[in-house]
Amino acid sequence: MSTSLNAWSDALSGFSPAGLPLGLLIIAAIPLVFIALYALTYGVYGERKISAFMQDRLGPMEVGKWGILQTLADILKLLQKEDIVNKEADKFLFVIGPGVLFVGAFLAFAVLPFGPAFIGADLNVGLFYAIGIVALEVVGILAAGWGSNNKWALYGAIRSVAQIVSYEIPAAIAILCGAMMAGTLGMQQIILQQQGEYGFLHYFLFQNPIAWLPFLIYFISSLAETNRAPFDIPEAESELVAGYFTEYTGMKFAVIFLAEYGSMFMVSAIISIVFLGGWASPLPNIGALALNDWTSGPLWGAFWIVMKGFFFIFIQMWLRWTLPRLRVDQLMHLCWKVLTPFAFVAFVLTAVWEIYVK
Amino acid sequence: MTSTTYTVIFYLFAAITVFSAAFVVFSRNVIYSAFSLLFTFFGVAALYVFLSADFIAVTQIVVYVGGILVLLLFGVMFTNRIMMTDLKTDVLNIVPGILILVATIGGLGYIFLNRADWFVTSERLQGSVVERIGFETMSRYVLPFEMASILLLLALIGAAFLARFDKPGKSEQ
C-alpha cells in the first residue's frame, strides 16, 4: 500500500514534454475541474432539490427530466448577464475581490489527498497549511465588501470576517486534537494511521473516547467558517440583501459561489481526513469476506473521500434548511464562551489519553 | 524542476515582495497600502519556503495575513472618514533620513560581509522539521516560550478589561 503512495501525482509531476511542466498544470487543474463539476451537479442542483424535499416542494422541474439541466441553464444565463461595476465602487478592489476569495478557497486543495495515489503536494505541514490558508479568503471578502462601496456589502464583509476569525480558534484547537492523535501534520500520514483491516474502527473518531468532542466542535466551527447556516448572518437576506456580494453580477457572482462550494468541500474533506480516515475504506474484513481489501486502492480511495465529503456537505445543507440563524451576540457567545472552553477541555483530555492511557 | 526554474521563481517572488512593499509605502490610499501588504506577506512566506522553512512560512501566513493584516484592515475600515485625510508621502526630513539609510545599509552590509557565519550546504533539508521545532521549543527554549505566552496572556486580559463596558449601577454607588 505505502509503496504506491502518491504514485499518480508523482508520475504527473514528472510529466514534462518538451521541457514544459505540463504535469504540474494538470495536477493543479484536477481539483479545479472537480470543484466546478461538483458545484454544478451536487452543489447547486443538489442543494435546490434537497431544500425542496425538506420543505415538501418539488424544486426545479422544468429544464430536462427532474430539472437536471437547470444548473446548465443558470450558468448560460450568468455568462450572458451584463458585468456591472457600479459607478461609486472601488474598481480595483471590486474586481480582484472574488478572485482573491476563490484563490483562498482553492489553495487548500493543494494538500487535500484525493485517494492514496493522488495529492497536490504532500507537505509535512499539510494540515497546518490547510487551516492557515483560509486567511486569504478573509482578505478577499474584505476586498469585495469594501470595494462595493455599499453599506450592506461592508456590513456583510465585516460580520463575515469577524465570524471567520473568531471561529478559527476553536476549529484550530479541535483539529490539533486530531493532529495529536496522529503525531504528524502530513495529510497522507494522518490517513495512513487510520487505515487497517477493521475498517472504520481504525478511524480516530472511534480510537479515542473523547474524539467526538473535537469532531463536533470542528464541525460547528466549519459551518461558521464557510458562512453556512445557522451562521449565515453575513448574508442574511432579510437584513443585508446578500451581504458582501450584494453588488456582484454575472460571472463574478458565479466565482463567489464557486468559492463557497469549494470551501464547503474543503472543510468537509478536512474533517473526514482528521477524524474519519479520509480515503481509508470504512468496511471491515470479516473472515473470508475481505471487504476492506476489496474496497481499497487508488480509485476506491478517491471514491471514499469524495463520498465522505459529500456526506458532510449533505449535513451542512440539511442544517441550513432546518435551523434558524443566530444573532450576532449569540454567535459570539457560542464561539468564545462555549466552543473555545470545550475545545481546550478536549485538547487536555486528548493529551492525557494519548500520553497515559494509550 | 531545474535550478534555472528555481532561480526564476525565486526572483519572481523577490520582486513581488519588494515592489508590493514599496507600494505600501508610496501609495496615497491607505486601503490600497493595506491590501498591498498581503502580497508582501505572501512573498516573504514564499521566500521562507525557498529556505526549506515551510513551517515558518505557514506560520507567517497564519500570523501576518490571518491576524495582523485583518486587524489592520478592520482598523482602517472602522475609522471614520479615513479616506478623506491626505496621506503625506513626500520626502520630509532628507538629511536624517539619508543618515539612517546609510547607517542601516552600512551596518547590514558589514555584518553580511564580515561578521556573519553563514551555514552553507549544497543539500536541501529533507524530512519534517515540525517535530524538531516542537522538541526544541519544549526543551532548550522553554523559558522564552513560556515568557511569550505570559506576555500574550497579559495582553489578552488587558484587552478584555479595556473592552468590557461598566455594569449599570456600579458607577452610581
| Closest Cβ opposite residue B130 in set A124, A138, A165 | A124
Contacts A161 to B, Cβ<8 Å: 70, 74
Q: Which residue has the cell 456591472?
A: A84
| Closest Cβ opposite residue A146 in set B59, B62, B77 | B77
A171 CA: distance to closest CA in chain B (Å): 14
- Residue A256's H or E segment, with its range, is helix A250-275
- pLDDT category of residue B125 using cuts at 50, 70 and 90: low
CA dist., res. A220 & res. A229, Å (int): 10
Q: Do B65 and A92 touch (CB under 8 A)?
A: no
Q: In this predicted structure, what is the pLDDT of residue B89?
A: 61
Contacts A354 to B, Cβ<8 Å: none
Cell triple for B169: 449601577
Q: Do B32 and A136 touch (CB under 8 A)?
A: no
Chain B interface residues facing chain A, Cβ-Cβ under 8 Å? Answer: 1, 5, 31-32, 35, 38, 54-55, 58-59, 61-62, 65-66, 69-70, 73-74, 77-78, 127-130
From residue A169, alpha-carbon distances to A31, A229, B84 in Å are 27, 19, 35
CA dist., res. B34 & res. B31, Å (int): 5
User: What value does the mean pLDDT take over residues B71-81?
Assistant: 77
Domains of chain B: 3-89 (1.20.120.1200)
At A113 the three-state DSSP class reads strand
Neighbours of A297 (CB within 10 A): 17
Q: In this predicted structure, what is the pLDDT of residue B1?
A: 56
As averages over each run of 10 residues, the pLDDT of chain A (358 residues) reads: 64 71 76 78 81 83 78 81 77 84 86 81 84 85 83 83 87 89 84 80 82 90 83 72 75 83 88 86 76 76 86 87 83 88 91 85
Q: Do B58 and A128 touch (CB under 8 A)?
A: yes
Residue A286 pairs with which residues in a beta bridge?
Answer: A289
Q: Say how many CA atoms lie within 13 Å of A235 toward its Cβ.
A: 17
Exposure string over A235-253, b if 16+ CB within 10 A, otherwise e? bbeeebbbbbbbbbeeebb
Is the predicted pLDDT of residue B109 greater than 60, yes or no? Answer: yes
Nearest to A150 by CA among A140, A161, A158: A158
Mutate to test the interface with A, among B78, B130, B164 (most CBs of A within 10 A): B130
CA dist., res. B132 & res. A74, Å (int): 52
Taking the Cβ of residue A184 and every Cβ of chain B, the question of whether any pair is shorter than 8 Å is answered with yes
- Residue A286's H or E segment, with its range, is strand A285-286
Contacts A124 to B, Cβ<8 Å: 54, 127-130
| Closest Cβ opposite residue A132 in set B38, B61, B74 | B61
Q: In this predicted structure, what is the pLDDT of residue B81?
A: 66
Cα diameter, chain B: 76
Q: Which residue has the cell 526543551?
A: B139
Neighbours of B160 (CB within 10 A): 9
Mutate to test the interface with A, among B54, B72, B83 (most CBs of A within 10 A): B54
Instruction: Please report the number of interchain residue pairs, chain A to chain B, with beta-carbon separation below 8 angstroms.
Output: 70
Contact indicator for A148, A93 with CB cutoff of 8 Å: no
Contact indicator for B44, B28 with CB cutoff of 8 Å: no
Q: In this predicted structure, what is the pLDDT of residue B173?
A: 46
A228 CA: distance to closest CA in chain B (Å): 20
At B47 the three-state DSSP class reads helix
Q: In this predicted structure, what is the pLDDT of residue B122?
A: 64
Nearest to A208 by CA among A343, A350, A344: A350
